[in-house]
Chains A and B, each alone.
Chain A
């Protein structure tokens, strides 16, 4: 994201609720973020952090409420969405073509994430942390304005954690929005915190 022009982005959720089976996970949840802002969704396992992100991404219906997004949404979750059989470079090149990103974006992002040496290694041989970094490379190439990060620090070592936090800070500085669902501490200047337990039904 370095050097990218300032962009406008916003995401607004009004009174959303999430229901799984007979259980309402949370209700009456509202948030409003605009360019440069970030929030961490905190809460224990199973409270509905991932479900909230999927609702915000438009991938799952809300039980109640509305979500409005200005800009494009990028999602990073536990699933890297990279073909396990393909070498990392080719797996990322597929998403580069889907995103219409320049060809050199793949190599640039691999270098940024410290994965350049693994370009020819099949994705299935990567460690959990390497797959997570590869997913960050995919997210960078997408150039989405609203980042939804679901447990982005899982499996990362301390250097990679720092890198993930830096990338998120740069994204926000470039006008993007970030929503981080994590039970771990995420260091980001100006990061707001939203405890999902406060909206439990």
Chain B
């Protein structure tokens, strides 16, 4: 097994099978809770729910993606795992790139599956649901890359987990605008822009995240 494959296997084990953070269940339950609570808040206005539901799903997905941030980088710095990787010549860039993939796999596909019951709760039609799913497919990899980068930047800081959440939200605005925009007048160009935003974030993440880990490691 190559080192990258062993890293991915370990990360998926930690992020998917849980441990203290509850694996992917917590983001999915949070996501569904938002979708369930929204109709209670705005009332049984089906046209309003159908018109705004897609945007609510996007906001819920963004907030759900923030939940596992404190488990992404900090524990491995505290345990000395990054040091041991460095001694073996395993670059932080490789570790961060693998972690972006693992983080996305742990919340992206589960949220896309959870979007089906969420769409039913919000009364979305088939065409809107299709665009929501495509938008999540295009945008959630960018959210994963952003999450890992910010988790690395805030690792070792007091209150880092809360700070990470606050930092991710404004930086995720482009992905949110393009992804949610694809549900309205933006259409497929919105999807393309959400995908492009994701690609930029994925390209930056290994280098920015690795530099942050090296700085945090001291």
Contacts and interface: CB of A to CB of B under 8 A. Distances in A.
Contact of B87 (A75, A80, A82, A84): A75
Interface in A72-90: 72-75, 77-86
A74 B218 CA distance: 18
A79 B90 contact: no
A193 interface: no
B87 A57 contact: yes
B218 A82 contact: no
B87 A73 contact: yes
Given A60-B218, A94-B10, A99 B83 contact: no
Interface string A52-76: 0010011110000000000011110
A82 B75 CA distance: 11
A187 interface: no
Residues of A contacting B: mostly? loop
Nearest to B86: A59
Contacts of B217: 59
A81 B6 contact: no
B88 A99 contact: yes
Contacts of B6: 94, 97-98
B78 A79 contact: yes
A144 B20 CA distance: 33
B1 A81 contact: no
Nearest to A60: B218
A80 B79 contact: yes
Interface string A75-118: 10111111111100000001101110000000000000000000
Contact of B1 (A85, A97, A142): A97
**Chain A CB within 10 Å — which of B3, B80, B85, B217 has the most?**
B80
Contact of A74 (B3, B14, B20, B87): B87
B1 A75 contact: no
A146 B3 CA distance: 22
A59 B87 contact: yes
Interface of A: 54, 57-60, 72-75, 77-86, 94-95, 97-99, 138, 142, 144
24 contacts: A54-B218, A58-B87, A59-B86, A73-B87, A74-B87, A75-B83, A75-B84, A77-B80, A79-B78, A79-B80, A79-B83, A81-B79, A81-B81, A82-B79, A84-B79, A85-B14, A86-B13, A94-B6, A95-B84, A97-B1, A97-B3, A97-B6, A98-B90, A138-B84
Q: What are the nearest 7 A-B pairs in CB distance? A: A79-B80, A85-B19, A97-B6, A81-B80, A81-B84, A81-B81, A73-B87
Interface of B: 1, 3, 6, 10, 13-14, 19-20, 78-81, 83-88, 90, 217-218
